[in-house]
Amino acid sequence: MSDLDFATFQALVRLYADYAAAVDSGDWDLWPEFFVDDCTYRLVPRENHERNLPLATLAFESKAMLKDRVYGIRETLFHDPYYQRHVVGPPLVIGCAPGRIESESNYAVFRTKLDGATTVFNVGRTIDVVVDTPAGWKFKSRTLVYDSEMIPNSIIYPL
């Protein structure tokens, strides 16, 4: 772990902050750009994760699938509109190698509907592999294991 220099750690913190800002912005096209082409993104209830059950609430295996999700959000998925707000803890670095970091973070997402109070929407931790690319640090894989197993109706926007 000592070989993670400060500049790299700062880049990792920045990636997490930029990601949170992007997925809360409403500009969904920003979201896939945080990933390499050959990426995985999984949103998994903690129950399945801890019992080694393979089902995810969402399981994408490429940046192309993330783009399909963006299209779905924008064009096909009817939903009651809402704001979402991520609060993300500092990265917990699990391991690193040149050009590659394994890290985790705690997160809470709040949902605010247009006529309602703000409520806790989804809480959990991310398990990430990030890699250095010519375009900067990107997620190779991002797994969100959520404690909030009883989803308040539906999840539409990217977490």
Measured between alpha carbons, how far is residue 122 from residues 10, 99, 127 in Å? 26, 31, 16
Q: How far is the CB of 60 from another protein (least distance, A)?
A: 7
d(CA 95, CA 135): 22
Cβ-based neighbour number of residue 56 at 10 Å: 18
Cβ closest to another protein, residue 59 vs residue 92? 59
Comparison of 1 and 150: residue with beta carbon closer to another protein: 150
Map residues 44-83 to x or -, x wherever contact with another protein holds by CB under 8 A: -x-xx--x-xxxxxxxxxx-xx-xxx-xx--xxxxxx---
Span from 12-20, 41-49, 95-103, 129-137 in contact with another protein (CB under 8 A): 41-49
- The SS3 of residue 41 is strand
Report the nearest approach of another protein to the CB of residue 118 (Å).
17
Which residues is 93 bridged to in the sheet? 103
List residues bridging with 113 in a β-sheet: 82
- Binding footprint of another protein on the chain (CB under 8 A): 43, 45, 47-48, 51, 53-62, 64-65, 67-69, 71-72, 75-80, 149-156
